[in-house]
Homo-oligomer: A and B are copies of this chain.
Amino acid sequence: MIIVLRPQATAAEAQDILARIEQAGLQPLHMPGSERVVLGALGDERVLAGLHLDSHPMVESVKPILTPYKLVSRETHPHDTVVHIGSGESTTAIGGTALAIIAGPCAVETHDQMLNTARAVKAAGASALRAGAFKPRTSPYGFAGHGEEGLKILRSVGDEVGLPVVTEVMDTADIDTVAQYADALQIGARNMHNFALLRAVGAAGKPVLLKRGIAAKIDEWLLAAEYILAAGNPDVVLVERGIRTFETATRNTLDLNAVPYVRQRTHLPVLVDPSHGTGIRDLVAPMALASVACGADGLLIEVHEDPEQALSDGAQSLYPAQFDGLMRALAPVAAAVGRTL
């Protein structure tokens, strides 16, 4: 950690801070420059955080050297983590050579809707089924999902077509219920900083898909994953789903830079959700191809048997035939970057 002092800091104040660094068990460094005195502290920076040097009135800035996360870092765990969801024959691996394609409607609406969509995505080659029973909605007047009734439909349809199922959990009070039906728990973008929820899914015994918050820096996203690993759950899958920027032509700005960036820094697998990342049906397929080309381990795609009648997110849901076309277009791109479908 590097500590830059203000110009008016005295030698005594510098010595006082150096003494505090040494007392914390770290190695202090004194670098007096012509315009600023710079101090250093070598060692575990998380210990140093307890000194709160950024609060000192004579400290201008504090610059950490090490990443704030450990368990998710590729430095401490160089090999790729592969997360398995589901059980028996329908188990899907996320993070290996084969791409994971998780598809389905935004929300569980009816058994028929789920079954028709599930059959279509399975036939086109999807490896898992997604749909929401608890839906985060910006307005209190929007359709908020069917709750446990929806979970039952999802589970039964998943079993019928032979696909593992992924669904969102929004409240610590619902985790046991959701975990009873789902093969993997999804933390939505709005809850990436719901730390109570992160700790709780860390103890739930199911793999977790962690979506990036719409205003989350990559380091914050990795720290959210660190929460889950620190709570004892190593099976975390990161999902890039677009960030909020000044651009309003698309619903979000899909930050594909994040895909190769996090793959260099973490051993966890990374998926991309081009449905939320664009919010526009016609952009989903090209951005799905781009996601795989830059190294994503798979995709999360919204597909609805009849998007015009979807209760939510219809504008970004693919028609089954479009999803089938996407899967066909994806095959040669996957092969071009050494992946399989």
Q: Which residues of A are interface residues toward B (Cβ below 8 A)?
A: 2, 4, 7, 29, 31-36, 38, 40, 42-44, 46, 49, 52, 54-57, 63, 65-66, 68-69, 75, 136-142, 144, 170-174, 190-191, 193-197, 199, 213-215, 217-220, 223, 226-227, 230-231, 243-250, 253-261, 264, 277-278, 280-283, 286-287, 289-295, 307-311, 314-315, 317, 329, 332-333, 335-337
Partner of A75, one of B35, B246, B307: B35
Task: Please tell me if the beta carbons of A283 and B261 are within 8 angstroms of each other in the complex.
Answer: yes
Complex: A62 Cα to B291 Cα, angstroms: 29
| CB <8 Å contact, B290 and A49 | no
| Inter-chain contacts of A256 with B (CB < 8 A) | 254, 256, 287, 290
B57, B193, B259: which contacts A136 (Cβ < 8 A)?
B193
Cβ of B230 and Cβ of A140 under 8 Å apart?
yes
Contacts of A280 in B (CB 8 A): 261
With both chains docked as a complex, state the minimum distance between the C-beta of A279 and any C-beta of chain B, in angstroms.
9
| Besides A68-B139, A140-B223, A170-B196, 14 new A-B residue pairs in contact (Cβ under 8 A), listed by A number | A29-B29, A32-B42, A33-B43, A52-B310, A55-B315, A55-B317, A139-B226, A140-B226, A171-B197, A190-B193, A214-B215, A243-B245, A244-B246, A245-B253
- Chain B residues with Cβ below 8 Å from A335 are 332, 336
In the assembled complex, which residues on chain B have CB atoms less than 8 Å from the CB atom of A260?
282-283, 286-287
CB-nearest residue of chain B to A32:
B42
Q: Provide the residues of chain B in CB contact with A49, threshold 8 Å.
A: 141-142
**Looking across the interface, which residue of chain B has its beta carbon closest to that of A304?**
B55
Q: With a CB–CB cut-off of 8 A, which chain B residues contact A54?
A: 314-315
Check B35–A38 contact: CB distance below 8 A.
Answer: no
Q: What is the bound-complex CA distance between A196 and B310, given in angstroms?
A: 23
Q: Whose C-beta in chain B lies nearest to the C-beta of A196?
A: B171
* 9 residue pairs A–B, Cβ–Cβ below 8 Å: A7-B75, A33-B43, A140-B226, A140-B230, A171-B197, A213-B215, A243-B245, A247-B257, A257-B283
Number of copies: 4
The answer to whether B217 and A308 touch across the interface, beta carbons within 8 angstroms, is no
Task: Contact check, A257 vs B253: say whether CB atoms are below 8 A apart.
Answer: yes
Cβ 8 A contact of A65, one of B38, B69, B257: B38
Q: Which of B36, B55, B63, B282 contacts A307 (CB 8 A)?
A: B55
Listed residue (A55, A243, A254, A333) with the most chain B CB atoms within 10 angstroms of its CB: A55
Closest 8 CB pairs of A and B: A55-B314, A215-B215, A332-B336, A171-B196, A293-B293, A190-B193, A290-B294, A290-B290
Q: Chain B contacts of A250 at CB under 8 A?
A: 257, 261
